[in-house]
Amino acid sequence: DFRGPLYQWYLHGNELRYEGSVLFEGQPAERIGVRNPTRYDRRYYFERDSKLLFLYTESDSIGGEPVPVTPRNRVDWHAYHEYQPLGAMLLPSVESYQHNGSVTFIFHRAQYVAPDEKLFTQRKRK
């Protein structure tokens, strides 16, 4: 999705840089680095063939400079394990992340819901 996190970071004037092709645990991937003057720097990893985002990591630096104190709100990593097709889109359906040594899993189920125009055109009177 071109309006995902990378697009938002770019809109706010953050530095995005293509870091090239890498091997991630033996698998070919593409990596993009993002520097932000007020947040931890990130690296985004995309599968080479599918171009799907599968992981981002946060470093101990902000704006390219090391942080002198122990990070508090830093997520070590955030992984995207599965995607669900919905029409012409693919949406994350299983994610996980590690923060302060704890791993959290997030499960999503997306569906199209027809709009209910009655919510806007008919009011219940009290």
Q: Which regions of the chain are under pLDDT 70? A: 1-4, 71, 123-126
Between strands 53-62 and 65-66, the pairing is antiparallel
Question: Chain-centre distance of CA 124, in angstroms?
Answer: 40
- Residues composing the chain: 126
pLDDT at 49: 93
Helix segments in the chain, DSSP class H: 5-11, 118-121
Confidence (pTM): 0.81
Burial class for 126, CB neighbours closer than 10 Å (0-12, 13-18, 19+):
exposed
Task: Report pLDDT digits (tens) over 68-77.
Answer: 777 678 899 9
CA dihedral 3, 5, 11, 15 (to 10 degrees): -140
